[in-house]
Structure 1
Amino acid sequence: MTPTNTILIIDDSPDTIRLLSAMVREQGRVLFATSGAAGLELAKVQRPQLILLDVEMQGMDGFAVNEQIRRDPDLRGSAVIFVTAQSSPEAEIACLDAGAVDFIPKPLNAAVVQARVRTHLRLQAALTALDELANQDGLTGLYNRRYFDRQLAAEFARHRRHQLPLGLALIDVDDFKLFNDRYGHQRGDGCLQEVAEALRDGARRPGELAARYGGEEFVVLLPNTTPDALERYGDWMCRRIGALGIAHPGASAAPHVTCSIGLCALLPGPDDTAEAMLHAADMALYRAKRAGRNRSVMAGPEPQPA
């Protein structure tokens, strides 16, 4: 299995944790927690592909932990395998009905544990690949607008809960219609692909997301990003796209392909919305174009409703 897999063991027995860790350590990075509450906090940070969850724990039991996992949008990609001393058909049915992908009875058998973990890591990888294909823009390979809209809503809600600053950059290729008219749509597609690659390479921090928003317009979501950091990102991305050196002699801003960027950074409050934030970035993009293109412009500190 790929070493990028993360397996989280949640069990209040150190002996069971040691035993399970030894069984699955070759299949991924193994983390552990000795209580349900600690396991949930660790899962939110690490977002493991697979959680091995003990049913019988003091305090918050496995079913309660699993219910919290199922309700948390940040953890919906984590599969849960229940581990329990209860091996009756009724116990197995209860685990599966609760939303677990599998059930491992105690005493633990190493071959069984390894086979089931291996199987579900493979299934998780296949599901991830299918999700990525469905969420991908066919031309550029970036995420598509549908996926971006979902992620913006989720990140906006998360940043509101944790009171973190969220950054958004709306990016438009300057005078792109003129480029297509001069060189044709095939070279136009190639131009968009090069710009998309620059945006993809520029989204390096965890959680950063670049998407094609439509036509020659792109959008980048930048979690936990202050206004100052977002302004630096906008200036840097303008230079980066200009440095691609794609000839565009008919353009108004420069003899090569450039972009205009509208920026919005916000610490989401109870009355703010993701739609208003996107609208503010769009208005900032409009001002960047009016000011001569090939630049980034920051929206006001509070996005105005559309």
Structure 2
Amino acid sequence: MNLDPYILVVDDQMAIIEALGELLGEQHDVRFALSAQQALQQIERQTPDLILLDIMMPDMDGYELCRILKSRPQTTEIPVIFITALATPAQETRGLDAGAVDYIVKPFNPAIVRARVRNHLALKHAKDQLRILAQTDSLTGLANRRYLFERLQQEFERAGALPEIAAFGIVLLDIDYFKRFNDSQGHLAGDFCLQRVTAAVKAELRHPNDLMARYGGEEFCCLLAETSPEKARQIAERICACVAELAIPHPKAPVRHIVTISAGVAHWHPECVSVEALLQIADQALYAAKAAGRNQAYFGV
């Protein structure tokens, strides 16, 4: 697996592509596209760490391509550097206004290109790390509640546009009698319990776009991407079973004296009005699972 930073060069002149490939290829994974449409197709397959973009191209100019990239959530954070023969201040300003982070005029100085590429890759790496920290629960390593709601909203909108493909499920999970566990075993044991439960549940999520997030203290939420209602129910039941199989001792649990979880399941359907309404359905199902004796999954309607 290539771990070098991936740089996409978008230019309709092979001489420029070859020059930049030779200049940057030793330390970077340099790929190229000869048009804006080719670039969009490549970006769809794999997101670059940095784009070097010409302005004058036959099908769509670099300004328009940059605006498209900056308008999409999945590509807006990719740094774009224009490398172009257009050298007036007005053209440079237009490029920066379109969303580029830098502007290099052809013929370019190799040392300047290397330095600016290095600096912008380092800045992107730092921003990515800060973003990960802002989206992550420090104890469990899961996504936090804020990031969960961002993803749920994205999936909600995607399902509305592509209902045959992108329908999704959510599972709200709550560790049964967790306050009793903390009170009797201590908070360090409680933290370890949360981590073990987290690992067991995550292992049951198989789709690459599934997400597990910490919803509250001992509550979690799983986003199940591109799944059917029946599949969502099966996953929730499997999650409950896998946590019980850990057999974490819980002397204050009234029945089996081990840690268990209860689950409430909801599934997107075209009549859903909001993410919040879907979560309410899952929450009501979770309440029903608890009322029915816990250690089980209920499907909400």
**2:227 is matched by which residue type in structure 1?**
T
Asked if the contact 2:272–2:278 (Cα under 8 Å) also holds between the matched residues in 1, the reply is no
Structure 1 residues 16-60: Cα deviation after superposition (integer angstroms, max 9, x where no partner): 344434443444444443332342344244233222222111232
What is the one-letter code of the residue matched to 2:196?
E
1:138 is matched with: 138
**Aligned equivalents of 2:189, 2:271: Cα separation in 1:** 45
After superposition, the Cα gap between the structure-2 partners of 1:287 and 1:156, relative to the gap in structure 1 and judged at 3 Å, is same
Letter in 2 for 1:237: I
Amino acid at match of 1:217: E
1:84-233 to structure 2, matched below 5 A, reads 84-163=84-163, 164-203=166-205, 205-233=207-235
Q: Secondary structure at the match of 2:215?
A: strand
> How many Å separate the matches in 1 of 2:28 and 2:203?
26
Q: What is the letter of the counterpart of residue 55 of structure 1? A: I
Letter in 2 for 1:77: E
> Residues 104, 159 of structure 1: CA spacing in aligned structure 2 closer, same or farther, 3 A cutoff?
farther
Relative to structure 2, which stretch is displaced further, 135-144 or 172-181? Answer: 135-144
Q: Distance in 1 between matches of 2:243 and 2:21?
A: 46
Q: Distance in 1 between matches of 2:161 and 2:34?
A: 26
Matched, 1:294 2:295: yes
Aligned residues: 298
SS state at 1:37 partner? helix
Partner of residue 280, structure 1: 281
SS at match of 2:107: coil
Corresponding position: 1:58 with 2:91: no
Q: CA RMSD in A?
A: 2.6
The answer to whether the 8 Å contact 1:165/1:223 transfers is yes
Greater shift after overlay, 270-279 or 66-75?
270-279
| Counterpart contact for 2:262–2:297, Cα < 8 Å | yes
Q: TM-score, normalised by structure 1?
A: 0.85
Residue type at the aligned position of 1:207: N
Aligned-pair identity (%): 42
In structure 1, list runs of 5 or more residues that go unmatched: 301-306
CA distance, structure 2, for counterparts of residue 236 and residue 26 of structure 1: 47
Aligned equivalents of 1:158 and 1:4: distance in 2?
Answer: 32
Partner of 1:304: none
Equivalent-residue separation in structure 2 for 1:270 and 1:296 (angstroms): 23
Inter-CA distance 61–151: structure 2 relative to 1 (3 Å threshold): same
For the residues of structure 1 that align with 2:13 and 2:224, how far apart are their CA atoms? Answer: 39
